[in-house]
């Protein structure tokens, strides 16, 4: 599957501050893109809406919290 990301509107969390050490997210027609803010022309991961929903639900429920 090939995705043209040239028109994507990338954003990062408002909690990120001025640092460039973040991930950026873009909502796409076919899913959600995620990329490294330090390398905006580099590769991006593309998730289906179901995958993104499962991931964000896991974040909200603390599944990725480190003890």
Per-residue pLDDT of the chain in tens (67 residues, 90 and over written 9): 567 788 899 998 877 777 667 899 999 988 999 999 889 899 999 999 999 999 999 999 999 999 7
Domain ranges across the chain: 23-60
56, 43 contact by CB (below 8 A): no
pLDDT at 44: 94
pLDDT at 28: 94
Question: What does pTM read for this prediction?
Answer: 0.81
pLDDT at 24: 94
15, 27 contact by CB (below 8 A): no
Measured over all CA atoms, what is the biggest interatomic distance in the chain, rounded to whole angstroms? 39
């Amino acid at each position: 599957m090939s995705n043209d990301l040239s028109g994507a509107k990338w954003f990062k969390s408002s909690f990120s501050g001025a640092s460039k050490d973040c991930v950026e997210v873009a909502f796409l027609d076919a899913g959600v893109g995620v990329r490294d803010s330090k390398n905006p022309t580099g590769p991006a991961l593309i998730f289906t809406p179901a995958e993104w929903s499962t991931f964000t639900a896991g974040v909200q429920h603390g599944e990725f919290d480190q003890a």
